[in-house]
Amino acid sequence: MMQVYWDKRFESKEMVWGEEPSQTVYHAMDVFASNDVQTLLVPGSGYGRNTKLLSSHFSVTGLEFSKLAIEMSKDWDAKTQVIECSILEPINLETQWDAIYCYNVLHLFLMEDRMKLIRNSMKQLRDQGIMYFTCFSDQDQRNGRGSRLEDNTYEYKEGKAAHFFTEQDLIQHFAGMRVIEMGLLDEEIPYSETETEKYSLRYIIVQMV
Ligand SMILES: C[S@@+](CC[C@H](N)C(=O)[O-])C[C@H]1O[C@@H](n2cnc3c(N)ncnc32)[C@H](O)[C@@H]1O
C-alpha cells in the first residue's frame, strides 16, 4: 500500500523536494570523513536528492522500492548504485558498509517497522561503523494532527503517518549503539516549484560498538 503512495508521489517525475541536499548531508560528510568512511548505504534513497553529493565523496549504495524514484535517480546521480528492495526486509547481502545515512525515513513507520529498519541497518554495518539518521521531531507543527495510531504517531495527512520523536525516544530506538551526537534542526523543504514547507527534525549519529 505504501509503495503505491510513493510511486504516486514520484509520478510527475519532478524532484518533489528540489535538487539541493539537506544541510545534514554536509554535517554527515564531515563526520564520515573523520571516521575513514569509504562505503555508504542509504536506505530510502528516493530520486537521489541527498545521494548525489554523497556519491561524489563515497562509494554509495541506495535502497529504494519505488521504481519511478530509481529511474529518476539513475539520471540525476549515476554514481549511486540503487538496489530495488524493501528496507523492511533483510537485504541478504554479505556486504557490510562503513556507514549508513538515512534521511527522513524512520518516522514513516509504526514501532514494529521502525525497529525492523534499525535492525536491518545494523546488520549491514561493519564494527565501529557509523549511522546518521534524521526524523521528524516532537516539536514539528504536524505533531498531534489527525488520528492517533500509536504513541506519538499520527495520520497527519490522509494516507500518510508519521512518528514524532522526543530526544529520549530516539535514543531508545538506537539502544545498544554508542551515541556520538544528536540534535534538533529546522529545515525548509520545497514541495512545489514556488512553495516550501518548514519541518522540525532531529538527527542522531551512533556508532556500532
Ligand atoms: C520521505 S522520502 C525521503 C527520500 C530521501 N531520503 C530524500 O531525502 O530525498 C522516503 C523514501 O523512502 C522510500 N521508502 C519508503 N518505504 C520504503 C520501504 N519499505 N522500502 C524501500 N523504500 C521505501 C520512498 O519511496 C521514498 O523514496
Please indicate whether residue 9, judged by its CB atom, sits closer than 6 Å to ligand 1. Answer: no
Name the residue at shortest CA distance from atom 4 of ligand 1. Answer: 46
Please indicate whether residue 136, judged by its CB atom, sits closer than 6 Å to ligand 1. Answer: no
> Does the pLDDT at position 12 exceed 90?
no
Looking at the chain, the whole-number percentage of residues with pLDDT higher than 70 is 100
Average pLDDT value for the chain: 95
Please indicate whether residue 86, judged by its CB atom, sits closer than 6 Å to ligand 1. Answer: yes
> Does the pLDDT at position 1 exceed 80?
no
pLDDT of residue 114: 98
Using the mean position of ligand 1's atoms as its centre, give its distance from the Cα of residue 200 in Å.
18
Which atom of ligand 1 lies at the shortest distance from residue 87's CA? 20
Q: Tell me: the pLDDT tens digits for 118-165?
A: 999 999 999 999 999 999 999 999 999 999 999 999 999 988 999 999
> Does the pLDDT at position 206 exceed 90?
yes
Q: Tell me: the pLDDT tens digits for 28-60?
A: 999 999 999 999 999 999 999 999 999 999 999
Alpha-carbon torsion (161, 174, 54, 43), positive or negative: negative
Span 62-87, average pLDDT: 97
For the chain, list the domains and their CATH numbers: 2-136+164-207 (3.40.50.150)
Please indicate whether residue 105, judged by its CB atom, sits closer than 6 Å to ligand 1. Answer: yes
192 pLDDT band, cuts 50/70/90, is confident
Span 173-199, average pLDDT: 94
9 pLDDT band, cuts 50/70/90, is confident
In this structure, the number of other CB atoms found within 10 A of the CB of residue 12 comes to: 9
> Three-class SS of residue 80?
coil
